Structure 1
Amino acid sequence: MAAARERRLPHLHLTLDAPTWAFRCPAPASVTVATLSTSAPRPDGEFRLIDFDRLSVLGRGNGGIVHKVSHRRTSALYALKIIHRGHPGADEEVDVVRRVDSPHIVRCHSVLPTASGDSALLLELMDGGSLDSLVRGGHGGFPEEALAEVAAQALSGLAYLRARRVVHRDIKPANLLVNSAGHVKIADFGIAEVVSRAGKYRAAYEGTAAYMSPERFDTERSLHGDGDEQDRVDPYAADVWGLGVTVLELLVGRYPLLPAGQKPSWAALMCAICFGELPTLLDSTASPELRGFVAACLQKDHRKRASVAELLVHPFVTGRDVAASRRALCQVIEQRSMPISTRV
């Protein structure tokens, strides 16, 4: 079965140590006044590509490239994501980023026209990088106070998307970006989907295999909203699973569902995700509230998995000291943010 499915899923991302496409990068000496791009989105057409100087490459991938750019007139800093023409999901990503406007989502200021036909997204620049970049490099896990803040803000972003029928489908540390103010925002809508009112959506096995939920490995089930109501797979439940794996990874300081050093092959990931148990390390290092939160996220049966609304009122989230949790997260960001090699 594993061999057959490996042939059917050749496009899954299996590299667990790949860094992200956004990271903290100091402004060059030639820029005397620079601000991060945090203002409200502007109508398409107000910005032009020729208005920006490209300062550095923030990341590369099969889908395109991301630059750190500076607006020539204002010196404001942005991330410019250029998606290659014809790349699968490019139109969907543009459609989704046009729909969303939330303090918990990386803001798209404008979709810029290009002569080549590529898609160019002018995005808010997150100066703290990604949670992936912060947890890697031998730094170890996050303190629980910081984890509670990450969970609360990510859940607020997922609640916003759920209200607009958007499924992200690739929630992982690399797609949760932070800034020096301690804000956590969801990024990269390359395989996101707007679920129809009938509950239908695209094939469920796109995404990063390491963070896919068990039901998304089962391609023989009804994954498009067809069949009996009780047999339908809730598409939003997969994002909760991804958040659970993310929180657990930030706690232990490495990908948590495989033993340290094990090669992350598709078959190994499928077995660990669909049939494996939670790491025993969690039982000895985490508070009961955190253990309960992760367990609620990582129920293998999507029907038993907690919803975003339920997790927002979980004691791990509501019981945190908000100010202390934000300070703890800011400390992690300040201590660990540094330029690293990145990709989209």
Structure 2
Amino acid sequence: MSAADSGAASHPEADSDSSELADMVAAMSTTSSHMTPPNGYRSAPPRTTTPHRLAMSDRKLSLQERGSRVARQPTIETKRVSITDGEDCVQLNQYKLQSEIGKGSYGVVKLAYNEDAEQFYAMKVVSKKKMMKQCGFFRRPPPQGSCSKPLEPLQRVYQEIAILKKLDHHNIVKLVEVLDDPSEDKLHMAFELMTKGAVMEVPNESPFGEDQARSYFRDVLLGIEYLHYQKIIHRDIKPTNLLLGEDGRVKIADFGVSNVFEGSDARLFSTAGTPAFMAPEMMSEREQSFSGKALDVWAMGVTLYCFVYGKCPFYSEFIVELHIKILTQAVLFPETPTVGEDLKELIALMLDKNPETRITIPQIKLHQWVTQHGSDPLPLEEEHCTVVEVTVEEVQNSIRLIPSLSAVILVKSMLRKRSFGNPFECPSQRAQRSMSAPGGLLTGPWGLLGSSLHVHPSLMASNDGSRDGELEDLYEDEAFTEST
């Protein structure tokens, strides 16, 4: 994405924070280069590249070369976690947890340095205790006629892990390792570090130009096509869930409300996601099902509108009024900034209120604005998509359910003692282990799989048991297996 730098320059606050994180990583990398890793040896320095190889690396890859890339390494699953408080950091197995770089719904995101790999990651830290306390509170019963069982917050996390472990695409954020010790409260997930953070904060007074918006949107388009190819509906596409890497490539994050489906499309019944990015068919008062793919297309249309105008096409401080606008108002295009007619046409096609006539992903890929009138076509589906399967058994196995009444009594005892370990275990056996990383929850301008707290609730995703103001009227529980 050659225009990444120009896009970042148009957002001084986001650029400042991203630069600060990048500088921090660079400084820590310099320091770590003078340290001896715990394994006692250091990997050899990279070989000097010949001038011929440098020239080849600058060449744009062909579609065939893109398809022959090396598959990602499997996600590491670690069940034993050693936590030690240091003077300037917390040691978590081979990771040194540094400063907080974001905040999510149930925890924080920390900068983490892997001493073995000599690489930085974004470590999402969530509290299982907090999520279990949310179960059963601030929830409405499932819609009538729905035979699916709603997922609880902790179940959603394990569903997200089951999905991310399978995905392998250059426009999807990669889950590197899951550290889940049953005796610890904290669940840790190491993601690849996207140093530039969210592609945009909304509202924004400095939106992207058309060329920059096209570059970012094409990345999102390929990422969504890949997800749909893998029979996954994201359900919460928005600028703050699109992360920007050093190479200027956009990657899709946050699969907390995603759905796995069977057949050609998902048939969904319930509400999930961020209110300002929800499609009108989700707001009907009568019982009905709706297309999952069409929902993602609508959210992509709202996102593209945000890219070029810096705000959502439909907005209100009140959720009910917002719903009415989404249901009844036509899309209005401000006079400034100036936007081409091709782009307006594409946005209008994506924000068609009728999901049956709404433009589809294959049609978007061929649109004249996306391809610049055919001069820059996107790769075909088979050229960038490889089949992976997330089976029902795998998702179920990743969800930890309480099997019996005795287990419920045990968990309640844990909560009373403010410990997620065995309350009947000898205290001396647990005195050697720190329970969690110190420090409060900080709010940053960007966060992996999270969102800023300085925006209106209509721009924030609905989360189980965490509803503010007007969001209490929304019900966002749904099952991951809703299908035709």
TM over 0.5: yes
Deviation at 1:201, TM superposition (A): 5.8
Partner of 1:318: 371
CA distance, structure 2, for counterparts of residue 287 and residue 247 of structure 1: 13
CA distance, structure 2, for counterparts of residue 234 and residue 253 of structure 1: 28
Q: For the structure 1 residues 41 and 63, does the alpha-carbon distance in structure 2 shift closer, same or farther, using more than 3 Å as the test?
A: farther
Corresponding letter in the other structure for 1:215: E
- Once the two structures are superposed, the pairs formed by residues 253-264 of structure 1 within 5 Å of their partners are 253-258=310-315, 263-264=316-317
TM-score, length-scaled by structure 1 = 0.76
Corresponding letter in the other structure for 1:79: A
**Unmatched segments (≥5 aa) in structure 1:** 1-18, 224-232, 323-338
Partner of 1:121: 189
CA distance, structure 2, for counterparts of residue 193 and residue 168 of structure 1: 7
1:65 paired to 2:108? yes
CA distance, structure 2, for counterparts of residue 70 and residue 81 of structure 1: 13
CA distance, structure 1, for counterparts of residue 196 and residue 97 of structure 2: 19
Partner of 1:252: 309
1:217 paired to 2:283? yes
CA distance, structure 2, for counterparts of residue 186 and residue 210 of structure 1: 18
Corresponding letter in the other structure for 1:44: I
CA distance, structure 2, for counterparts of residue 74 and residue 199 of structure 1: 40
1:236 paired to 2:293? yes
Partner of 1:191: 257
Could you list the per-position Cα deviations for residues 259-304 of structure 1 after superposition, in whole angstroms to 9, with x for gaps in the alignment?
xxxx432112101211111123169821121111111110001111
Q: For the structure 1 residues 70 and 213, does the alpha-carbon distance in structure 2 shift closer, same or farther, using more than 3 Å as the test?
A: same
Q: Which of 198, 201, 213 does residue 130 from structure 1 map onto?
A: 198
Q: For the structure 1 residues 214 and 34, does the alpha-carbon distance in structure 2 shift closer, same or farther, using more than 3 Å as the test?
A: farther
What is the DSSP-based 3-state SS (H/G/I as helix, E as strand, rest coil) of the residue aligned with 1:68?
Answer: strand
Return the index of the structure with the highest Cα Rg. Answer: 2
Q: For the structure 1 residues 341 and 130, does the alpha-carbon distance in structure 2 shift closer, same or farther, using more than 3 Å as the test?
A: closer
108-117 or 193-202: which moved more?
Answer: 193-202
CA distance, structure 2, for counterparts of residue 211 and residue 284 of structure 1: 21
Across the aligned residues of Structure 1 and Structure 2, the Cα RMSD in angstroms comes to: 3.0
**Unmatched segments (≥5 aa) in structure 2:** 1-13, 34-69, 82-91, 133-152, 377-442, 451-484
* Aligned positions, number: 292
CA distance, structure 2, for counterparts of residue 274 and residue 41 of structure 1: 44
- Once the two structures are superposed, the pairs formed by residues 1-344 of structure 1 within 5 Å of their partners are 25-26=21-22, 27=24, 29-32=27-30, 40-45=72-77, 49-85=92-128, 86=132, 87-88=153-154, 89-114=156-181, 115-116=183-184, 118-133=186-201, 138=205, 140-197=206-263, 203-218=269-284, 220-223=286-289, 233-258=290-315, 263-281=316-334, 285-319=338-372, 340-342=444-446, 344=450
25-34 or 292-301: which moved more?
Answer: 25-34
CA distance, structure 1, for counterparts of residue 165 and residue 268 of structure 2: 19
CA distance, structure 2, for counterparts of residue 297 and residue 167 of structure 1: 16
Corresponding letter in the other structure for 1:83: V
Partner of 1:226: none
CA distance, structure 2, for counterparts of residue 242 and residue 200 of structure 1: 16
